[in-house]
């Protein structure tokens, strides 16, 4: 069997992108990304999702390699984001009789983006398409993470085409399934992908998991990253925990510092927490840290400390950026503490407290806010905050 036949009559025709540097123009791609597209081959042929238009020619080559001169009868569109839909016009030129398959919101977006309206087949939640030997069933999962999103289920092959759900950054190194590639590097990239792209939509993800939970899934075919076969249970469990904002034990210290004073507080707090044997501990200087990596670890770990100098009577801009990203994602609970510094008028600690109040997080311990240079008393207050935090962490883990 060719490596591209991931299940009988289910073929992989996606591509790798190792040149784009930022996903959505925002999130770095140090390991690239894949755009996954699939063929379901019965008496009729359905292509499920496409690829970014720069790779449309390669997609056509992959399709022809799998089915030769056979026509593509249907194009199933699970998600309209252009990295998955922008090859539609190209495909229609090569397969003019191809019918678009999507829900009403999808087909409106196809017309809006690409000026294509027909031929089309509109599906409702629970609708089916008979390919002759294979059946495709459609499950609407809106806001995972666009309103038109749906998943496609092939019961004969126990295969779920999940759109962006269960996807991950990172191109595919040779293989396609999780039995063919080394998967360890993808877990953090899945967390980073979820935190950056899907993280706001925990409640819709939970609804989608409940809707799809009764399916006897053997294979998950997402639009990014490996096809999951061996690790399907781990993938679903990770999405379940992330969408419930459930965190594992660990501490993130994220700070901004202009001249090293706030940084000194961060380093002291981290050292004392380590002495108290709580961890793992991740420390990020927000002037240099990649925001999606910081978000990834805040989604992962249950304790967050944020430090900021007062800057023009407000928070240091990289700190404010992080808080805005967290607010947009609505994380409902984290253990939280704060620290900072100022020269003549301190507001950072107060603003950090207001942020916690907005998020409905309780602050642990007294804020450490240092005026000008660090004194022995400031260092002692860092130690006291760290020990108070450590005691609470240990109590919660018993």
Q: Would the pLDDT of 129 be above 80?
A: yes
Check whether 41 has a pLDDT greater than 70: yes
What whole-number distance in Å separates Cα of residue 375 and Cα of residue 377? Answer: 5
Parallel, antiparallel, or unpaired for β 135-140 and 27-28? unpaired
Q: Are 45 and 84 within one domain?
A: yes
* pTM of the full structure: 0.93
If asked whether residues 141 and 42 sit together in one domain, one would say yes
Q: Is residue 301 part of a domain?
A: yes
Segment 241-289, tens digit of pLDDT: 999 999 999 999 999 999 999 999 999 999 999 999 998 999 999 999 9
Which residues, in sequence order, are CB contacts of 290 under 8 Å at separation 6+? 28
pLDDT reading at 45 higher than 80 = yes
Cis peptide before 6 (omega within 30 of 0): no
Residue indicated by tokens 């967050």: 304
Return the bridge partners of 255, or none.
285, 307
Closest listed residue to residue 245, CA positions, set 165, 326, 176:
326
CB 80 within 8 A of CB 116: no
Phi, psi at 368, each rounded to 5°: -100, 115
> Mean pLDDT of all residues in the chain?
95
Query: In the listed set 243, 274, 301, which residue is the last one of a domain according to the structure?
Result: 243
In-domain check, residue 398: no
316 and 336 within one domain: yes
Maximum distance among all Cα pairs of the chain, rounded to whole angstroms: 78
Flag whether pLDDT at 198 surpasses 90. yes
Is 295 strand, coil or helix?
Answer: helix
Look up residue 10 and give its two tokens: 């289910």
Write the CATH number for 348.
Answer: 3.40.50.360
Q: What pLDDT does 116 receive? A: 87
How many folded domains does the chain comprise? 2
Q: Which residues, listed in sequence order, are joined to residue 303 by a DSSP beta bridge?
A: 251, 335
Residue range 141-146: average pLDDT? Answer: 95
User: Token pair 């899945």 is at which residue?
Assistant: 190
Q: Are residues 202 and 343 in the same domain?
A: no
Please tell me what DSSP assigns to residue 362.
Answer: P
Tens of pLDDT, residue by residue over 94-114, are 999 999 999 999 999 999 999
Return the pLDDT at 374.
86
Mean pLDDT of all residues in 79-85: 94
User: What is the arithmetic mean of pLDDT over 109-134?
Assistant: 92
Mean pLDDT, range 164-177, rounded to an integer: 96
Residue 190 has pLDDT above 80, yes or no: yes
DSSP labels, 53-109 = GGGHHHHHHHHHHHHTT----EEE-S--SHHHHTTHHHHHHH-TTPEEEE-HHHHHH
Task: Compute the C-alpha angle 246/250/253, nearest 5°.
Answer: 110
Domain that holds residue 274: 251-393
Q: In the prediction, which pLDDT does 1 show? A: 59
Strand (E) positions, 149-229? 150-154, 159-163, 219-222
Domain end marker among 243, 278, 303: 243
Which CA distances in Å does 212 have to 56, 75, 396? 31, 22, 33
* pLDDT in the model for residue 375: 87
The neighbour count for residue 134, using CB atoms within 10 Å, is 22
Confidence of residue 383 (pLDDT cuts 50, 70, 90): very high
Residue 169 lies in a domain: yes
Among the three residues 227, 243, 259, which one is the final residue of a domain in this structure? 243
As given in the structure block, the two tokens for residue 279 are: 């961890």
Q: Comparing 111-120, 147-156, 273-282, 303-312, which segment has the lowest mean pLDDT?
A: 111-120
Distance of CA 276 to the CA centre of its chain: 33
* pLDDT reading at 130 higher than 70: yes
- Say what the pLDDT of residue 398 is: 75
Which residues neighbour 269 within 8 Å (Cβ) at sequence distance 6 or greater? Answer: 253, 305, 339, 368, 382, 385, 386
My answer on whether 67 and 197 are in the same domain is: yes
Does 352 lie in the same domain as 223?
no
Task: Give the DSSP letter string of 182-219.
Answer: --HHHHHHHHHHIIIIIGGGHHHHHHHHHHHTTS--SE
Distance in angstroms (rounded) separating the CA atoms of residues 272 and 44: 65
Same domain, 153 and 29: yes
Asked if 388 contacts 335 with a C-beta cutoff of 8 angstroms, the reply is: no
Nearest to 56 by CA among 83, 78, 74, 75: 83
């Amino acid at each position: 069997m060719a490596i591209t036949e991931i299940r009988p009559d289910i073929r992989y025709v996606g591509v790798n992108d190792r040149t784009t540097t930022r996903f959505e123009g925002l999130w770095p791609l140090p390991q690239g990304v894949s755009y996954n597209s699939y063929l379901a081959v019965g008496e009729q042929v359905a292509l499920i999702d496409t690829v970014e238009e720069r790779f449309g020619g390669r997609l056509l080559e992959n399709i022809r390699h799998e089915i030769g001169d056979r026509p593509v009868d249907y194009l199933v569109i699970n998600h309209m984001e252009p990295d998955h839909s922008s090859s539609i016009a190209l495909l229609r030129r090569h397969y003019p009789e191809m019918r678009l398959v999507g829900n009403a919101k999808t087909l409106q977006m196809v017309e809006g983006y690409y000026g294509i309206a027909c031929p089309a087949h509109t599906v409702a939640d629970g609708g089916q398409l008979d390919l002759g030997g294979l059946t495709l069933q459609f499950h609407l999962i809106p806001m995972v993470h666009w309103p038109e999103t749906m998943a496609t289920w092939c019961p004969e092959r126990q295969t779920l085409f999940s759109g962006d759900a269960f996807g991950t950054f990172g191109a595919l190194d040779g293989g396609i399934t999780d039995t063919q590639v080394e998967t360890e590097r993808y877990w953090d990239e899945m967390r980073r992908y979820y935190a950056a792209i899907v993280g706001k939509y925990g409640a819709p993800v939970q609804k989608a998991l409940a809707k799809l939970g009764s399916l006897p899934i053997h294979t998950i075919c997402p639009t990014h990253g490996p096809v999951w076969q061996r690790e399907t249970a781990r993938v679903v469990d990770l999405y379940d925990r992330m969408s419930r904002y459930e965190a594992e034990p660990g501490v993130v210290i994220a700070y901004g510092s202009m001249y090293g004073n706030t940084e000194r507080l961060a380093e002291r707090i981290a050292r004392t927490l380590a002495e108290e044997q709580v961890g793992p501990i991740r420390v990020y200087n927000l002037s240099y840290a990649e925001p999606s990596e910081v978000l990834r670890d805040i989604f992962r770990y249950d304790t967050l400390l944020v430090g900021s100098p007062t800057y023009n009577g407000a928070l240091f801009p990289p700190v404010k950026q992080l808080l805005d990203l967290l607010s947009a994602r609505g994380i409902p609970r984290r253990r939280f503490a704060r620290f900072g510094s100022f020269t003549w008028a301190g507001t950072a600690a107060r603003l950090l407290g207001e942020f916690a109040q907005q998020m409905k997080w309780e602050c642990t311990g007294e804020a450490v806010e240092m005026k000008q240079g660090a004194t022995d008393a400031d260092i002692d207050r860092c130690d006291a905050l760290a020990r108070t935090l450590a005691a609470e962490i240990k109590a919660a883990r018993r």
